[in-house]
Structure 1
Amino acid sequence: MTLPAAETNHQRDVHPNQQQATTLRKMNKKLNKLAVYLILILFSLAFIVPFVWLISGSLKSSTELFADPPIWIPEVLNWSNYTEAFTAFPFFLYLKNTLIIVFFTCIGAVLSNSLIAYGFSRIDWKYRDGIFIVVLATLMLPFQVIMIPLFLLFKEIGWIGTYYPLIVPHFFGNAFFIFLLRQFFKGIPKELSEAAKMDGANEFIVFWKVILPLSKPILATVIIFQFIEAWRDFLGPLIFLSDNSHYTLSLGVQQIMSQNDPRWGLLMAIGVAMTLPIIIIFFFLQRYFIEGITFTGSKG
């Protein structure tokens, strides 16, 4: 059966129009993606350029560092800044002290906050939501407000000059981490908990054997945040540590900066050395970090 001539001509006219519309949609999609990438690249430059300048400055002499116009690539790489960075102050002693604090605060942050968040998200009890609001309200209290009462408290119990004031509070919860973990736990189906309870598991077994293994992304997020906070903390060690042998890297850098003639190339080399661990830990945990933030934001 042959189609009428008018209908055949109509199909010939429509088919190219459909192809053209499809082509235009694909081009628009590519242009939109290109625009998004360009915007992201421009915003990323605000973070990349300072770090590149830090690396460049760590390899310069003092003359090149303060040259006008600025010199981005030094003529001779001054690696002596890195050599002296490890000898200008007890770098490895302060590194060990910093890692001790970081390690135990990360353990405290994961254990305490996950357990508290489980109680706020998976167990029904009276006044639960009201108390959770009170916990969130503590986010409005900056450390500067409570540091004097904390100092007096720790002084009374004889903890000043030890690591305890910097470690022990992290075993009692953090409002921000509790919020992140609670939001993630609420996204885990309750049927999993109910099935475990039917097999005889109590709440702690459900928490330890069911919830935590499914929460690796958000736990990695908490570890990254806590690592950064403890690694770069300056005010806490400054207040609570009195013995030079207990100082952290941030206090060691402050000692060099307080000199009459600080060596800025040396300081930049130390800055690179202190930034690299944060980049490395984020590089290895970035997949979990992105998943944790994404799933946390998907639940109300």
Structure 2
Amino acid sequence: MLLVAALVLMLSPFGWLALTAFKPPSELRAVPIHWWPHHPTLDNFHQALTLFDYLGYARNSLMIAGIYAVLITLASAWAGYGFARLDGPGKRIIFGVLLSTMMMPQIITLIPTYLLFAKANLVNTYTPWVLWGLCGAPYLIFLFRQFFTNMPKELEEAAIVDGCGQIRIFWRIFLPQSWPVIATSLILSFSWSWGDYIAPALLLDDDRTTLSVKIATGYVNEHGTGLLTVVAAGAVMYIVPVLVLFLILQRGFVSGVATSGLK
């Protein structure tokens, strides 16, 4: 019963959003509140797709989130492999410093980051997301490091005997075995980028920005008042790609979260 209650509590905001997306504006302002739409309509979804180029901005978001997710997964996997299987001076200290950065709110580095990108003429381009992806993420590096630490040393020793170097060992043996963590990393990193509002609003112009920014600013009437039912419809469609990705990779996601912290 407690799990059912927790599930209902967590899903209730999305349920309210979905019901609002099917309401005409008059029912949203009705008193008392109509929890269930009395006259369901699909007009909100039509307006959400046509008031601006919804699919075009969705394409921008998919491009940014897809590139970022792939690059940050590969970079984090390589860094995690180094921390797990390679020896070097100060490795534990560096790993501790890396983990400590997870306690630093990203918002405090946003303005300095913007100034650096502005001086490098990278504002209004997608290059910042490429650079962020190539740097990896502390939490994902931690997941890969934990997973690679638990892999049998015999695999690595057999590969070395066969003449494999560290790069080949990583690509041919360790990375293919880490599918659960790869799925976890892809879901998390895609969600981070797909749901990000601040960085696209700060770095991108209106024609190159992402869907999250456009949904927040694009659904207004001629008086500048927000069209709340249309916003709800746009937000419901906005959630779909993340849900689809999770449904595809959910088995690996659950396994990756469960196994990456064993040691």
TM-score, normalisation: structure 2: 0.95
Q: Is the 8 A contact 1:166 1:237 kept in 2?
A: no
Aligned runs of 1:215-294 on 2, under 5 Å?
215-242=178-205, 244-256=206-218, 260-294=224-258
Report the number of matched residues. 261
Secondary structure of the residue aligned to 1:246 is coil
**Partners of 2:83 and 2:175 in 1: how far apart?**
15
RMSD value, Cα? 1.3
Provide the C-alpha distance between the structure 2 equivalents of 1:78 and 1:167, rounded to a whole number of angstroms. Answer: 41
- Aligned match for 1:121, one of 69, 76, 84: 84
Identity of aligned residues (%): 33
**Cα contact 1:187–1:295 (8 A) shared by 2:** no
Deviations 1:63-85 (A, max 9, x none): 21233333232222210100111
Q: Distance in 1 between matches of 2:194 and 2:123?
A: 20
Per-residue CA shift, 1:243-288, capped at 9, x if unaligned? x220110111121367631111100000100111111111111110
1:99-132: CA deviation from partner (whole Å, max 9, x where unpaired): 1101110111111100001000011111111110
Query: Which ranges in structure 1 are unaligned for 5 or more consecutive residues?
Result: 1-37
Amino acid at match of 1:275: I
Structure 2 stretches lacking a partner, 5+ long: none
Assess if the C-alpha contact under 8 Å between 1:93 and 1:245 holds in 2.
no
2:226 aligns to what SS in structure 1? Answer: coil
Q: CA deviation at 1:222?
A: 0.3
User: Using the alignment, how far apart are the partners of 2:113 and 2:203 within structure 1?
Assistant: 10
The change in CA–CA distance for 1:69 and 1:297 in structure 2 (over 3 A counts) is farther
Aligned-partner Cα distance in 1 for 2:200–2:180? 30
The runs of at least 4 aligned residues of structure 1 exceeding 6 Å deviation read none
Contact 2:76 2:141 in 1 (8 A): yes
CA distance in 1, matches of 2:129, 2:202: 10
Greater radius of gyration (CA)? 1
Distance 2:92 2:31 in 1: 59
C-alpha distance in 2, partners of 1:181/1:145? 26
**1:108–1:170 contact (8 Å) kept in structure 2:** yes
Q: What TM-score do the two structures reach when normalised by structure 1? A: 0.84
